[in-house]
Structure 1
Amino acid sequence: MQPIDYQSVLTLLESTFTKQISCDSPTNLLCLKASENYIKADIKVMIFGQETNDWECQFPHIGGLPHLLNVYDNFFNNGKCFSYGGQFWNGFSKIQSRLRDEFSTESKSVGFIWNNVIKIGRCGEAGAPSKAVLDWQKITQNLIRKELERYKPDIVIFLSGPNYDKHIANIFNDVSFSKVSKRSDRQLAKVSSPQLPIKTIRTYHPGYLWRRGFYSF
């Protein structure tokens, strides 16, 4: 599997990095690295969170792309994220177990890759970054589409909540959200776009799901 050209994205981000943006303390770019388990899996799953709030602290990191790929590999592919704690990774782990159990009856392996709707967050702070940082990183919307083309997930799960639907719509301008159960489409929605697999859903961030009964979703 050929790597994504993250370097050209980083180069453009650095060339447009201003003092105003620096004052808003953007994190570093989330650069994906698929594991061998994902590459060889019968069923490939990409799970999106919202954004990072401390991804190697403030942009740009002196180690550049090699460092960011290694950080992703060590954090996610080597499982350090699950000792990191927090409701997101607890929820992610439960979804992994559920899907592996479900497909084990068909003797199919399941591989996972982690992504975020917003690729550059705020250093040390939760929540979406400023408008200036969002505008600066618009190039990453096309990057996400390229990641989907390259990694070809069979299932996509957005654990981003309905308030991030506007950010998903910025990535896929033809996207639609529809009700799939007795729950409202704010709680659980099918996400449709020619650029997404048929099996794509969006639900709340696990922090909300744990409070509302995780397994009922």
Structure 2
Amino acid sequence: MDQINRYLSEMYIEYWNKLKNQLVDRKVDLSSLSNPFLIDVVDSYRSASVKVLFVGKETCGWGQYIGTVDQEPWEAIIDLQKDYIKFRQEAKWAHTPFWRASKAIYDRLNPNGPADGYMTSNLIKLDQKNTRPSPEVEEIICSNFPLLPYEIKALSPDVVIFFTGPYYDERLKKTFAGALFETVNDLAPKVLSRIKHEMLPPHSYRTYHPGYSLRGKKTKATKFDPMVDAIVKQVTTTK
């Protein structure tokens, strides 16, 4: 286990029981929750020239938390990290908007880089009934399992792209307290904003989830491509 993976595993275990205890104490139906989305570093990320982290909203199904929660924490965490690596290697969902968009942007920033050398995570680490948790459960999860800033610290990406859209901006601002949103080029802020925060790299952006912009070729041309062009221009020409 290298330094990055060790840091991630130790950080996950630090918060594992804290989340479990709060969910149980608050009488949350554990059977409604997915497993936590815990990451491990894919080998190709290490050799990418421009390291990119894509952040989604929450999982849309990732096993069942109720089947994992009573395992020994180390065992559960290692298993979930292995699931992440297996998921990336199998690439069964490569055809879906999130993964198509991630690959397209990564390839633009790393034209000669290793295949799929990017990382992914989520703003909210568990889903509830395959969608965004209720406000109460979301607060419990994010307050007691505040993992994303630590993941960013461990991965040290050059670029972070939040595929979360404007409806998750309040959650994003709670995760990165004091974050400032800036316009990019002439794009509407809800389409693309640059996020400034001490825990984020200078090139951090929030845009719509690709499910909004990558449905059909015409939609891609009018909504997705301008956003990608703007990000690539910002990364390659500004500090």
Q: Secondary structure at the match of 1:21?
A: coil
Deviation string 1:52-74 (CA, Å, 9 cap, x unpaired) is: 02111334515611211111111
Which of the residues 69, 81, 86 maps onto 1:74? 86
Q: Secondary structure at the match of 1:20?
A: coil
CA contact (8 A) 2:50 2:110 kept: no
Give the structure-1-normalised TM-score: 0.86
CA RMSD of aligned residues (A): 2.1
Instruction: Trace 1:1-217 onto structure 2 (pairs within 5 A).
Output: 1-2=3-4, 3=6, 4=8, 5=10, 6-18=12-24, 20-22=27-29, 25-59=32-66, 61=68, 62=71, 64-76=76-88, 78-83=89-94, 85-101=95-111, 104=112, 111-123=117-129, 125-126=130-131, 128-137=132-141, 138-141=143-146, 143-210=147-214, 211=219, 212-217=222-227
For structure 1, list consecutive stretches of 5 or more residues without a partner in the other structure: none
Q: 1:13 is matched by which residue type in structure 2? A: L
Q: Secondary structure at the match of 1:111?
A: coil
Would the alpha carbon gap of residues 148 and 70 (structure 1) be closer, same or farther in structure 2, given more than 3 Å must change? same
- 1:24 and 1:60 map into 2 onto residues whose CA distance is 8
Q: Secondary structure at the match of 1:48?
A: strand
Q: Which has the higher contact order (CA 8 A, sep 6+)?
A: 1
Q: Secondary structure at the match of 2:137?
A: helix
Deviation string 1:157-187 (CA, Å, 9 cap, x unpaired) is: 1111111111110111010111011111111
Deviation string 1:121-164 (CA, Å, 9 cap, x unpaired) is: 123x33x10123212211222x2111111110011011111111
Q: 2:124 is matched by which residue type in structure 1? A: I
Deviation at 1:91, TM superposition (A): 1.7
- 1:93 and 1:37 map into 2 onto residues whose CA distance is 13
CA contact (8 A) 2:53 2:161 kept: yes
Q: Secondary structure at the match of 1:119?
A: coil
Q: Secondary structure at the match of 2:14?
A: helix
Q: Percent identity?
A: 25
Would the alpha carbon gap of residues 21 and 111 (structure 1) be closer, same or farther in structure 2, given more than 3 Å must change? same
Q: How many residue pairs align between the two structures?
A: 207
Give the structure-2-normalised TM-score: 0.79
For structure 2, list consecutive stretches of 5 or more residues without a partner in the other structure: 228-239
Higher helix share: 2
Q: 1:91 is matched by which residue type in structure 2? A: A
Q: Secondary structure at the match of 1:17?
A: helix
- 1:97 and 1:153 map into 2 onto residues whose CA distance is 15
Deviation string 1:70-121 (CA, Å, 9 cap, x unpaired) is: 1111112x142544x42222222222222222xx3xxx66831101111111
- 1:79 and 1:180 map into 2 onto residues whose CA distance is 35
